[in-house]
Amino acid sequence: SAVISQKPSRDICQRGTSLTIQCQVDSQVTMMFWYRQQPGQSLTLIATANQGSEATYESGFVIDKFPISRPNLTFSTLTVSNMSPEDSSIYLCSVHLERDTQYFGPGTRLTVL
């Protein structure tokens, strides 16, 4: 397994501001994933982040709204830009390890007022 940490664990933000979420893994991984989970819903993949290349975004998510950095094999950030109350959600980073198993960080609970 992997030990994945995220910062911040939660935040309350004002409409129109931006928040950057950090994800740190205790081992080197090729790919990191960012998910959103809205209340009572399942996981929605936002984007896949590879080290050294631009992130690949899923349908409905754009780089201007959710810019991602992946400076090395153990770290990634997701920024939620120009936030609105609809962005209130839990944001999770995730990695693939052996045999496609996927592990999740503890999540960042975001509330936008």
Partner 1 sequence: QKEVEQNSGPLSVPEGAIASLNCTYSDRGSQSFFWYRQYSGKSPELIMSIYSNGDKEDGRFTAQLNKASQYVSLLIRDSQPSDSATYLCAVKAFVFKTIFGAGTRLFVKA
Under the rule (CB under 8 A), what is the footprint of partner 1?
Answer: 1, 31, 41-43, 45, 48, 90, 92, 96, 99-107, 109
- Which residues contact residue 45 at a Cβ distance below 8 angstroms, ignoring those fewer than 6 apart? 33, 34, 35, 58
Give the CA diameter of the chain. Answer: 41
For partner 1, the closer of residues 16 and 106 by Cβ is: 106
Looking up tokens 């893994």, which residue turns up? 25
CB of 23 to partner 1, least distance (A): 12
For partner 1, the closer of residues 39 and 85 by Cβ is: 39
Using only C-alpha atoms, the chain has a radius of gyration, in whole angstroms, of 13
Tokens standing for 101?
Answer: 């198993």
Taking the chain, what is the end-to-end CA distance rounded to the nearest angstrom?
36
CB of 76 to partner 1, least distance (A): 15
Compute the distance between CA of residue 85 and CA of residue 100 in angstroms, rounded to an integer: 34
CB of 60 to partner 1, least distance (A): 15
For partner 1, the closer of residues 48 and 79 by Cβ is: 48
CB of 30 to partner 1, least distance (A): 9
For partner 1, the closer of residues 32 and 81 by Cβ is: 32
